[in-house]
């Protein structure tokens, strides 16, 4: 890619990882490398920090259910389980991903002791019958169109009883080139380099997140946008007196 790459607007170039014909062994290698790369650059930190705040403010009558939408390799859920064990919490953890092959890979990478329920499911099949106290999502929204992101925010607002948070990349020329250089230097799978840069080009900037939040019918007063190392954490914590609803 040229150094003068135009990132003024979101791009819609597909990622290789979105293909449905990837060999399962290659897919497993890519997902494992992607998890390593994300861990090395503290990719789970914003969501774990948000969850720490959210959970301490939540009622303690029963174990909370946390649903990870677009769970991929399951590494975020495993990180949540480690964090919960270290801090004396017990959660019901559910991972949802569209690709059933990805779900099989996530299950194989997860020990039975982690007690994570993985399900192959379209995110837009989320509905209020799913028991979720919190919904989280990492590196998913850049795969969606603007309209789909707004719909996803509406769905989470309807389903998550106590709150939701998404974390994704910031569209930035610096991050775009950093991912290219660092993934090559680390000798990661070539798909990580290609898709990593496409992911940045497809990601949102703060003003675009503000617009998606408004289009979802949510008040900017109720949704926080935090920045951390070229990522945005978009989070919503529901107050105890509030019920799941959105503006019409």
Q: Using one digit for the tens of pLDDT, what is the confidence trace for 88-132? A: 888 999 999 999 999 999 999 999 999 999 999 998 987 767 789
Which phi and psi (to 5°) does residue 31 adopt?
A: -65, -40
Residues 50 and 88: their CA atoms lie apart, in Å, by 17
Reduce the DSSP state of residue 95 to 3 states and report it. strand
Question: What confidence score (pLDDT) does residue 247 get?
Answer: 37
In CATH, what class is 16-25+44-169+205-237? alpha beta
Q: Distance (Å, rounded) from C-alpha 208 to C-alpha 211?
A: 5
* Per-domain residue ranges of the chain: 16-25+44-169+205-237
Residue 239's pLDDT is what?
A: 63
Contact in structure between 208 and 181 (CB atoms under 8 Å)? no
What's the burial of 241, exposed, middle or buried (CB within 10 Å: 0-12/13-18/19+)?
exposed
What pLDDT is attached to residue 3?
56
Output DSSP code: residue 214: H
Q: How far is the C-alpha of 8 from the C-alpha of 24, rounded, in Å?
A: 35
Whole-number Å distance between alpha carbons of 36 and 38:
5
DSSP β-bridge partners for residue 134: 66, 163
3-state secondary structure of 226: strand
- End-to-end CA separation in angstroms for the chain: 43
- What global pTM score does this model have? 0.91
Interatomic CA distance for residues 69 and 149, integer angstroms? 13
Sheet holding 223-228, edge to edge: 116-120, 91-97, 64-69, 132-138, 160-169, 231-237, 223-228
Q: What is the pLDDT of residues 1-29, one digit of tens each?
A: 445 789 999 999 999 998 888 999 999 99
Residues of the chain predicted below pLDDT 50: 1-2, 240-241, 243-248
Q: What is the pLDDT of residue 248?
A: 29
């Amino acid at each position: 890619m040229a150094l003068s790459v135009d990132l003024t607007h979101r791009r819609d170039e597909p990622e290789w990882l979105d293909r449905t014909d990837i060999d399962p062994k290659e897919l497993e290698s890519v997902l494992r490398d992607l998890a390593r790369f994300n861990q090395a650059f503290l990719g789970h930190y914003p969501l774990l920090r948000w969850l720490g705040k959210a959970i301490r403010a939540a009622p303690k009558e029963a174990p909370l259910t946390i649903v990870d939408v677009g769970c991929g390799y399951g590494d975020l859920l495993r990180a949540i389980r480690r964090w919960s064990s270290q801090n004396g919490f017990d959660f019901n953890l559910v991972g949802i991903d569209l690709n059933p092959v990805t779900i099989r890979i996530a299950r194989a990478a997860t020990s039975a002791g982690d007690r994570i329920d993985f399900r192959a499911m379209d995110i837009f099949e989320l509905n209020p019958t799913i028991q979720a106290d919190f919904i989280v999502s990492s590196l998913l929204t850049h795969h969606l169109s603007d309209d789909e992101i707004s719909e996803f925010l509406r769905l989470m607002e309807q389903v998550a009883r106590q709150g939701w948070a998404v974390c994704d990349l910031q569209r930035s020329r610096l991050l775009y080139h950093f991912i290219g250089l660092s993934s090559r230097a680390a000798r990661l799978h070539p798909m990580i380099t290609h898709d990593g840069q496409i992911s940045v080009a497809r990601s949102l900037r703060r003003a675009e997140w503000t617009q998606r939040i408004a289009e979802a019918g949510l008040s900017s007063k109720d949704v926080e946008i935090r920045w951390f190392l070229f990522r945005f954490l978009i989070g919503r914590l529901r107050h105890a007196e509030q019920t799941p609803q959105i503006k019409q």
